[in-house]
Amino acid sequence: MSGTSVEDLKPGDHACLTFSDNDERLDIVAAFVRDGLRLGQKVLCLTESVSQTALSDELAARGVGIGSAARSGQLQVAASGQFFTPQGSFDPSATIVRWQAQIDQANRDGYGGLRVTGDMCWALRPVGGVADLMEYESRLTRMLAGQNATAACQFDRQCFDTVTLATAADNHSMNVTAVTYHDDALLRICRQHVPTGVRIAGEIDYRAIEPLTLALSEALSLDDHIDVNLTQLRFMDTTTAGVIVQTALGLTGRQRMTVRCTRISFDVLAALGMQEQARVTLTTARHGD
């Protein structure tokens, strides 16, 4: 099933958010949080794979201003388990009741709605009641429709089996995925939401020149500041390095480009004169940063 962009989510939507790696998840979550804060909504992030502190740090590092929202309570980061399995097991009806309480509270507190995103990896454990998860998701879809609330449930494609993922997709009102220009076992080229730009992960060579050129030229037409995230790119050949240099030459007016990459990509781009270009910042990040 094709995906919706996280930026198109509206009140009443119950989205099944799938992602291929943690960096991609955090990018989509950051966009979800950013949009909620901008709209004056109460934002609740339920996290598990990423610690609560790490998630707050990641949001800030990606340029989402969370300081005042966290202090005022507009943004809350909490553990998934606290919301879904407060007594150690999962009770769909009690969870739906908690949802309604959160929506009502957000309205009473004067927020422009409620936004919740939750890491669903707790459901991979043998938790009591987890067999009813999909029935719950289906009930939540019906319950949220028409309410001033948006939910995005995070399902890791690397952890959940394909049958569960397909069932999850059916029981939500839509799927949210990264906007993808290329996706196979070796290479993934996605639109990056926060900061805006393009994310290229895996290994890239001349065979992917078309999707790479498309991704970069769309960024060039959309963004004032293009963040080219190559931190998870293990290999880049001369041809694709040349496309990135060419894109930088196409920057106009106030446009800027930041390229974040591994040391070897840094060496390749630097040898092609990337550092000397006035509108470009070239920086390194180690694998896994």
Partner 1 sequence: MATEPGSQFQQAPAQGLPPDAVLLVELPFTEAELVSLRPAVAAHADAAGMPADRVDALVFVAYELATNVVRHGGGVGGMQLWTAADAIYCRVSDQGPGIPAGIDGRAQPEPGSPASRGLWLVRTLADGMHIDAGAGDSRGSIVTATIGFRREGTFVQYPDD
| Contact residues: partner 1, CB under 8 A | 186, 203, 205-206, 235, 237-238, 241-242, 245-246, 249, 260, 262-264, 266-268, 271-274, 276-277, 282-286
Nearer to partner 1, 49 or 284 (CB): 284
**CA 279 – CA 201 distance, rounded (Å):** 24
Nearer to partner 1, 108 or 276 (CB): 276
Nearer to partner 1, 183 or 203 (CB): 203
Smallest separation (angstroms) from partner 1 to the CB of 185: 11
**CA 57 – CA 51 distance, rounded (Å):** 10
Yes or no: say if 106 and 113 are a contact pair by the CB < 8 Å rule: yes
- Strands annotated E in 184-266: 187-192, 197-204, 225-230, 233-236, 256-261
Smallest separation (angstroms) from partner 1 to the CB of 252: 15
Smallest separation (angstroms) from partner 1 to the CB of 274: 8
What is the pairing mode between strands 197-204 and 187-192? Answer: antiparallel
Yes or no: say if 285 and 231 are a contact pair by the CB < 8 Å rule: yes
Nearer to partner 1, 97 or 270 (CB): 270
Smallest separation (angstroms) from partner 1 to the CB of 135: 45
Nearer to partner 1, 93 or 238 (CB): 238
Smallest separation (angstroms) from partner 1 to the CB of 25: 23
Q: For Cα atoms 273, 228, 219, give the angle at the middle one, nearest 5 degrees.
A: 105
Matching residue, tokens 């908690």: 98
